[in-house]
């Protein structure tokens, strides 16, 4: 399958889409957060270095991230296709990523941008409720995701809470930052002709259908 870079605003459904593609096609989902956590858990030299940086409250530098990403991409399961989530964040990282891919003889694949109206993002974010005991996620504005009993987890009966930064003001500021930071990256990939904008204003199945169509069309044309 084509490798995928996913770009989307917070709350646009990146995680859910990645999960569906993973279970349906065997994609490997690589998010930078998980990547760093996995590296630490491995406990090799690189992992120990990351652990030290994180423990001291520092930010992991780009070079280290590249190194970890490259090591991960080398692993066998990535041959089925990878979904990158949260990386690259800027054009510099995008260029470096292509260098890594070419060293590993891998293709860039497609860049998919999930497009969601800001108003809908606000609902998705401000309606989010999380179980304090098991971490299950609900949404009071989405009939498919409301708990059966108000403020109570269906799975474990724990009570639900709202994260303090899941409010409208914080979302609007996060969204503005997202647009500002992402635009240069979108322009960059648009010029490369591998960018696809997917309407993600409806449910996950609708989003998934569009993504599958993109992947299938590409598969047909390369036959």
Helix (H) or strand (E) holding 171: helix 168-192
Based on the shown chain and the rule CB under 5 A, indicate whether residue 181 belongs to the binding site for Zn ion: no
Which residue from 52, 77, 133, 168 is in contact with Zn ion, where contact means CB under 5 A? Answer: 133
Local structure of residue 25 (DSSP, 8 states): H
- Positive or negative: CA dihedral 160, 161, 166, 169: positive
Respond yes or no: is residue 129 known to be catalytic: no
- Given 19, 51, 89, 123, the catalytic residue: 89
Respond yes or no: is residue 89 known to be catalytic: yes
Tokens representing 144 are 């498919």
Which residue from 24, 79, 149, 155 is in contact with Zn ion, where contact means CB under 5 A? Answer: 155
Site string (6-35) toward Zn ion, x via CB under 5 A: ------------------------------
Local structure of residue 140 (DSSP, 8 states): T
Q: How far apart are CA 157 and CA 146, in angstroms?
A: 14
CA nearest to 126, candidates 166, 178, 156, 97: 166
Respond yes or no: is residue 174 known to be catalytic: yes
- Given 163, 181, 192, 213, the catalytic residue: 163
Number of residues that bind Zn ion (CB under 5 A): 8
Rank residues 24 and 155 by Cβ distance to Zn ion and give the closer one: 155
Based on the shown chain and the rule CB under 5 A, indicate whether residue 198 belongs to the binding site for Zn ion: no
């Amino acid at each position: 399958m084509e490798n995928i870079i996913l770009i989307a605003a917070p709350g646009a459904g990146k995680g859910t889409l990645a999960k569906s593609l993973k279970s349906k096609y065997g994609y490997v989902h690589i998010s930078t957060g998980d990547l760093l956590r996995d590296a630490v858990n491995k406990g090799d030299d690189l992992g120990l270095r990351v652990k030290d940086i994180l423990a001291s409250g520092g930010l992991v530098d780009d070079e280290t991230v590249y190194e970890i990403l490259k090591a991960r991409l080398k692993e066998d399961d990535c041959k089925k296709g990878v979904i990158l989530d949260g990386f690259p964040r800027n054009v510099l990282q995008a260029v470096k990523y292509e260098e890594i891919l070419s060293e590993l003889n891998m293709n860039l694949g497609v860049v998919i941008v999930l497009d969601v109206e800001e108003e809908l993002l606000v609902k998705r974010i401000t309606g989010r409720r999380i179980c304090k005991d098991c971490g299950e996620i609900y949404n009071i504005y989405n009939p498919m995701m409301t708990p059966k009993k108000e403020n109570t987890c269906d799975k474990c009966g724990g009570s639900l809470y709202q994260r303090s930064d899941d409010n409208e003001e914080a979302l609007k500021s996060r969204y503005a930052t997202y647009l500002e930071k992402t635009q240069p990256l979108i322009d960059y990939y648009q010029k490369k002709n591998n960018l696809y904008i997917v309407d993600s204003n409806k449910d996950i199945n609708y989003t998934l259908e569009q993504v599958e169509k993109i992947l299938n069309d590409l598969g047909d044309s390369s036959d």
